[in-house]
Amino acid sequence: MASAFDVAAYILREAGPMTAMKLQKLCYYSQAWSLVWDEAPIFDEQIEAWANGPVVPQLFRQHRGALTVAQFNTGDPQKLTADQQQTVDVVLTTYNPYTAQQLSELTHSEQPWIDARRGLGPTERGSAVISHEAMREFYGSLLAREDAQTL
């Protein structure tokens, strides 16, 4: 299975350098949509609901202090399967046009992050995990709503 580092390396290879916050959000959406479209996680690392949105702590430790991330030497984009690459490509087409702040605000409006942050103040530190089930259920419901609108 690919790691979060492999996904981050693929994102950076395809989209170029970006802020650390934006990279985190694109990894989150890659995981969420992989759970819906591919019915499996794209990486094993957990995602936590931090004050600025979903974060993969292992990635954060690698880019801590960097405003912009250009590459992940610990990741190998070739480890992603063709289906996983296709999932990330669609995520990039959909979400990459947004700024890091817009993506953070978007995640703050979505149920998986909201539920994991329950009981915490807006800027309070927290490390609650956003479960695969919460992501699958929420993003799957968006897909179901979209399918219903096209009927």
Q: What are 5-58's pLDDT values in tens digits?
A: 999 999 999 999 999 999 999 999 999 999 999 999 999 999 999 999 999 999
Residue 66 has a pLDDT of 83
How far apart, in whole angstroms, are the C-alpha atoms of residue 9 and residue 26?
A: 11
Does the reported pTM lie above 0.85? yes
Residue 57 CB partners (closer than 8 Å, separation 6+) = 45, 46, 48, 127
Supply the range of the domain harboring residue 59: 4-149
Quote the number of domains for the chain. Answer: 1
